């Protein structure tokens, strides 16, 4: 079957179903949603979710309860909506977001190779291509719902995502130039002695900000601005369709955190954790990977408690006039200084 | 594209805006009010004077109930010529200023949420609760107090109220610094609120804007100073004014006014004399029948000038009670400022004027 041996097949199942596939990404979403609610509640001087789940006053199972509630709800399609596109888009959003996870290597495989569902030397390029499909989904969903708020929100999303993809691609260019590879695993290996956050700090800042805009997190949640366009392009979705939109959002967060970890924070590299390392060196790598992901996630979440929302013209202005020049400067610096530090990363 | 914003919308509450939107720019702005009209002026004609206090309170129940009822009892007292004791005057000022603080904190919280700044909303709403607790001690209610009554106030201060109030005011003064920092040190906040919806002083006067919004434009006008009622002429306080008249000034004006309210409260709590709290020593149970005539009173509520015009034909019920409310008088500013602006500025401009739909419609 598929030209795989029995052991390889089992391994593939583990990868797809457990880590880094379905179970991990769903668990990540649930934990992040819970953490976001509790953490923001603390910033707001509130208590946050309280009663659901074990451990008193933690509300640990609140996201699961919310998800179950959403699944139970009736799916309502507006009578004037384009039914096919309207029903398709949430599924497509969740599918595409989940698809990116298949190309991200999470650790070194003990038997050689990488712990990744589908290995390709062009993994970074594939993820970028998937990223460019997001505005299409938002515009499609916003248009299909046939609601004025949805349409305005979708158009805002299209503007914002198109403007902020360019700095992302440009700041990735610095790394691709340095490592001469689109292979995420290769990029991690290049950082075995020094991380790219030190060699390319401007690129890191640019990509962090641009990724927050890409994820529509505050202060860049303009397409979803409650006070202006109610909820932007997913306004009309209810029940399980809304749940899919939410899941896609947090899958995207998972992909983004993984991507930044790999590109700038050295992926799974880190000193061996004694206890985990004894069981398997891979576990130690996964530990470091998840820790770095957590740091990025907390930074992204924190924006919601600290900033008011920007206006669309301010956002586009800062995208075109600040982030893109900064990313280009980073490329120029990379080109100018590469000869000194290229040996450091083994090129 | 015509966009009907409200009356079911997260930010407009019971207003409806009819916007001409081109992409993200608002070309034309019209308001449509009247969704909360209850006919309070007509209701007031069918009730005796003392029954009308809770009725007029419903004009503005959840924000500045004391400021609303104070104007009404004053106009009745002016018509009937009832003298009220000194202590009652001080208690009225204390209640009014506490309620002004609560109302302004509520306004600042909405300013935060108008640009999606949830932290500001939660912090200010949290601290508003401290002031509401004080008002509970004073009157027994959280939002609809019915505290001032014709000829005095309903209840006296409980024991320990003074110390408790001073302690809470000290805490609030410290917290005000945090709020200033939230506004002035947060670059994103300034980007959203500075130079947005600039209302020039001449335009503000021409449009008939009142209250903190007028003062934010740089016009020094405050009924408490210009035409002191109760005992406001005995206190030493300033009337803060803004410089640019933009949304940032209007938002920070609320914080400055809270500061001045704290100043007034401290003096009032210190100077308050002993004595009765109601006009008649036994406590009048019979509502007064006002003599034939007319009277007008105005008070500075949290949102601005409340005006009450009362006509009596000598019976036990008012012949006509005309109420002019601050939110209604601030309404002309919106179409003036909301044309040719980005859609994102509409909630910011709207919220910084601190409208209450109940107040607009009566």
Q: Which of B2, B110, B116 to mutate to test the interface with A (most CBs of A within 10 A)?
A: B116
Does residue A110 surpass a pLDDT of 80? Answer: no
Helices of type H across B81-229: 86-114, 118-139, 161-184, 187-193, 201-207, 212-216, 223-226
Rounded Cα distance between B80 and B291, Å, is 6
Minimal Cβ distance to B116: which of A45, A152, A309: A309
Q: Given CB atoms, is B185 within the 8 Å cutoff of chain A?
A: no
When pLDDT is averaged across residues B199-221 and rounded to a whole number, the result is 89
Minimal Cβ distance to B3: which of A46, A148, A225: A148
Interface predicted TM-score of the whole assembly (ipTM), two decimals: 0.84
Angle, CA A133 vertex, CA A132 and CA A135 arms, to 5° = 85
Strand partners of residue B296: B309
Q: Name, in order, each residue with C-beta under 8 angstroms of B283's C-beta and a sequence gap of 6 or more.
A: none
Q: Which of B188, B338, B350 to mutate to test the interface with A (most CBs of A within 10 A)?
A: B188
Burial category of B222 from C-beta neighbours within 10 Å (exposed 0-12, middle 13-18, buried 19 and up): buried
- With CA atoms as reference, the chain B residue closest to A47 would be B122
Does residue A297 surpass a pLDDT of 90? Answer: yes
C-alpha to C-alpha distances, A59 to A69, B181, B309, nearest whole angstrom: 16, 32, 54
Radius of gyration of chain A (CA): 21
Mean pLDDT taken over chain A: 87
Structure tokens that stand for A329 in this block: 């400067």
Reduce the DSSP state of residue A154 to 3 states and report it. helix
When pLDDT is averaged across residues B186-210 and rounded to a whole number, the result is 88
Q: Given CB atoms, is B24 within the 8 Å cutoff of chain A?
A: yes
B115 and A309: CB-CB below 8 Å? Answer: yes
B3 and A314: CB-CB below 8 Å? Answer: no
Rounded Cα distance between A144 and A234, Å, is 10
Domains in chain B with CATH codes: 39-361 (1.10.645.10)
A227 and B122: CB-CB below 8 Å? Answer: no
Q: Kindly state the helix (H) or strand (E) to which residue B80 belongs, with its residue range.
A: helix B65-80
Nearest partner of B260 among B243, B236, B242, judged by Cα: B236
User: B307-344, pLDDT tens digit by residue?
Assistant: 999 998 888 888 888 999 888 888 888 888 888 888 88
pLDDT: which is higher, A203 or B23: A203
Question: What pLDDT does residue B288 have?
Answer: 66
Minimal Cβ distance to B23: which of A155, A230, A305: A155
B118 and A304: CB-CB below 8 Å? Answer: yes
Instruction: Please count the residues of chain A.
Output: 347
Rounded Cα distance between B72 and B302, Å, is 15
Percentage of chain B exceeding pLDDT 90: 11
Which of the 8 DSSP states describes residue A114?
B
Which of the 8 DSSP states describes residue A221?
-
Does residue A327 surpass a pLDDT of 60? Answer: yes
Which of the 8 DSSP states describes residue B290?
P
User: B109-159, pLDDT tens digit by residue?
Assistant: 999 888 888 888 999 999 999 999 999 988 888 888 888 888 888 888 888
Instruction: With cut-offs at 50, 70 and 90, classify the pLDDT of residue A257.
Output: very high
Mean pLDDT taken over chain B: 87
């Amino acid at each position: 079957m598929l030209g795989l041996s029995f052991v390889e097949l089992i391994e593939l199942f583990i990868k797809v179903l457990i880590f880094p596939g379905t179970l991990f990404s769903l668990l990540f979403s649930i934990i992040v949603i819970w953490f976001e609610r509790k953490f923001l509640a603390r910033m707001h001087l509130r208590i946050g979710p309280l009663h659901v789940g074990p451990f008193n006053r933690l509300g640990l199972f609140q996201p699961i309860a919310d998800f179950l509630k959403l699944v139970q709800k009736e799916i309502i399609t507006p009578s004037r909506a384009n039914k096919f596109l309207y029903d398709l888009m949430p599924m497509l959003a969740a599918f595409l977001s989940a698809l990116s996870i298949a190309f991200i290597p999470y650790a070194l495989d003990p038997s050689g190779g990488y712990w990744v569902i589908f290995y390709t030397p062009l993994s970074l390029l594939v993820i970028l291509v998937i990223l460019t499909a997001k505005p299409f989904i938002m515009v499609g969903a916003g248009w299909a719902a046939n609601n004025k708020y949805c349409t305005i929100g979708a158009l805002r999303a299209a503007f914002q995502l198109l403007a902020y993809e360019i700095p992302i691609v440009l700041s990735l260019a610095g790394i691709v130039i340095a490592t001469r590879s689109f292979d995420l695993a290769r990029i991690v290996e290049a950082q075995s002695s020094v991380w790219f956050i030190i060699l390319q700090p401007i690129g890191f800042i640019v990509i962090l900000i641009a990724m927050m805009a890409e994820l529509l997190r505050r202060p860049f949640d303009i397409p979803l601005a409650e006070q202006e366009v109610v909820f932007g392009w997913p306004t009309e979705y209810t029940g399980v369709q809304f749940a899919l939109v939410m899941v896609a959002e947090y899958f995207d967060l998972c992909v983004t955190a993984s991507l930044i970890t790999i590109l700038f924070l050295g992926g799974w590299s880190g000193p061996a954790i004694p206890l985990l390392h004894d069981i398997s060196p891979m576990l130690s790598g996964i530990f470091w990977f998840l820790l770095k992901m957590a740091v990025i996630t907390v930074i992204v979440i924190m924006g919601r408690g600290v900033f008011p929302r920007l206006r669309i013209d301010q956002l586009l202005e800062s995208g075109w006039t600040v982030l893109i020049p900064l990313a280009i400067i980073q490329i120029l610096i990379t080109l100018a200084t590469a000869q000194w530090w290229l040996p450091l990363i083994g090129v | 594209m015509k966009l009907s914003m409200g009356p079911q919308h997260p930010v407009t509450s019971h207003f409806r805006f009819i916007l001409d939107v081109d992409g993200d720019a608002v070309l034309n702005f019209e308001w449509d009010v009247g969704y909360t009209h209850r006919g309070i002026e007509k209701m007031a004609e069918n009730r005796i004077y003392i029954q009308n206090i809770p009725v007029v309170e419903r004009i503005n129940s959840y924000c500045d109930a004391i400021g609303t009822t104070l104007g009404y009892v004053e106009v009745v007292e002016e018509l009937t010529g009832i003298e009220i004791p000194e202590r009652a005057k001080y208690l009225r000022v204390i209640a009014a200023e506490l309620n002004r603080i609560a109302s302004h904190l509520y306004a600042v919280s909405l300013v935060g949420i108008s640009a999606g700044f949830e932290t500001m909303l939660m912090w200010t709403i949290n601290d508003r609760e401290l002031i509401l607790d004080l008002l509970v001690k004073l009157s027994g209610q959280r939002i609809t107090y019915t505290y001032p009554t014709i000829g005095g106030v309903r209840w006296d201060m409980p024991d320990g109220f003074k110390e408790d109030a001073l302690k809470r005011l000290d805490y609030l003064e410290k917290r005000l610094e945090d709020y200033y920092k939230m506004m002035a040190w947060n670059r994103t906040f300034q980007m959203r609120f500075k130079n947005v919806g600039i209302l020039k002083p001449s335009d503000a006067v021409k449009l008939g804007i009142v209250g903190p919004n007028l003062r934010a434009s740089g016009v020094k006008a405050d009924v408490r100073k210009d035409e002191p009622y109760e005992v406001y002429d005995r206190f030493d306080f300033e009337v803060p004014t803004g410089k640019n008249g933009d949304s940032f000034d209007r938002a920070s004006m609320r914080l400055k006014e809270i500061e001045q309210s704290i100043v007034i409260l401290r003096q009032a709590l210190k100077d308050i004399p002993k004595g009765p709290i109601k006009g008649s020593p036994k406590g009048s149970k019979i509502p007064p029948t006002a003599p034939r005539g007319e009277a007008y009173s105005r008070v500075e509520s949290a949102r601005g000038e409340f005006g009450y015009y009362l006509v009596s034909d000598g019976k036990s019920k008012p012949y006509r009670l005309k109420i002019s409310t601050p939110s209604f008088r601030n309404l002309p500013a919106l179409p003036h400022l909301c044309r040719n602006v980005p859609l994102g500025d509409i909630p910011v401009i709207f919220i910084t004027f601190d409208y209450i739909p109940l107040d607009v419609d009566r």
